[in-house]
Amino acid sequence: MFWDQITSPQLDQVDRNTPVIFPISATEQHGAHLPLATDRMIGQHFCSILNNEMEDRVLILPMLGIGCSEHHKDFCGSLSLEHVHFMHQLTDIANCIVHYGFKNILVLNSHGGNQAIGQTFIESFGYRNPGVRIALATWWKIALRELIELNESGPRGAGHAGELETSLMLLIAPELVHLDQIKPKSNIPTFDWAEGDMLYGADASLYRTMKEMTGEGVFGDASHASKEKGQQITKVVVNKLLKMITDLST
């Protein structure tokens, strides 16, 4: 069930053990071949499938479509909230969920820049609400083993606007993918210990803006993307999410 597509009395009749999905994303540049809405559309894609699969056994909040994207602002169109403001938004919305008696919350994240503040949020909120179970799931993190097996571009190929995100967008909205604008991988190297992507994490975090990571706004290799791979990614991620949501409801 989508939280905002039922009436207030209908919502009040929902079992308070029903897990609530709180989707968060971003509006930011994804190179010349993917739209600014990529992260939001990927998150909504997963939410739509979960809604179809689980029907009245899950509640899905409206998507929070702007996140922490300051590191993308060298590229036109990227929108961002300061971390403290994003934290306040997450907290205010979660307070509303708990106010109505719901106590199982899954924050579903589809943007890398939200991960650190998302973790801080669930630790802070969880501590202050001991009767609430709250978890953070970043879609590519929960299915790492399976996604590594699907990955053809290798380490540092499945990064921002790379193989994985482009495959999903070829499935979700192929008309918005500009295949003729896909360029060879243009990652700008740095220290070995700071190299990583969505699947292969770095040993330590080194702050760099996206412009410092890649002049094209794409970190990775989108040339291996396909609609079929988007279907495979969807299947493994949704299966992981279904398991998490089922666990939260027990």
pLDDT in tens, 115-166: 999 999 999 999 999 999 999 999 999 999 999 999 999 999 999 999 999 9
For residue 214, what are its two tokens?
């890649």
- CATH number of residue 142's parent domain: 3.40.50.10310
Domain count, the chain: 1
Q: Is there a domain that residue 103 lies in? A: yes
- Mean pLDDT value of segment 44-51: 98
Q: Is there a domain that residue 247 lies in? A: no
DSSP conformational letter for 32: B
In angstroms, how far is CA 193 from the centroid of its own chain? 25
Band of pLDDT at residue 66, cut at 50, 70 and 90: very high
Band of pLDDT at residue 75, cut at 50, 70 and 90: very high
- Domain range for 39 is 3-241
Q: Is there a domain that residue 248 lies in? A: no
Q: Is there a domain that residue 149 lies in? A: yes
Angle at 245 between CA 240 and CA 250, to 5 degrees: 130
Q: Is there a domain that residue 250 lies in? A: no
Q: What percent of the chain has pLDDT over 70?
A: 100
Q: What percent of the chain has pLDDT over 90?
A: 98
Q: Is there a domain that residue 154 lies in? A: yes
- Say if residue 114's pLDDT is above 90: yes
Give the CA distances from residue 124 to residues 111, 134, 244, in Å, rounded to whole numbers and listed in that order: 20, 10, 21
- Say if residue 51's pLDDT is above 90: yes
- Mean pLDDT value of segment 175-194: 96
- Say if residue 202's pLDDT is above 90: yes
Q: Is there a domain that residue 172 lies in? A: yes
* pLDDT number for residue 250: 86
* pLDDT number for residue 96: 98
Q: What's the pLDDT tens digit per position in 145-157?
A: 999 999 999 999 9
Q: Is there a domain that residue 23 lies in? A: yes
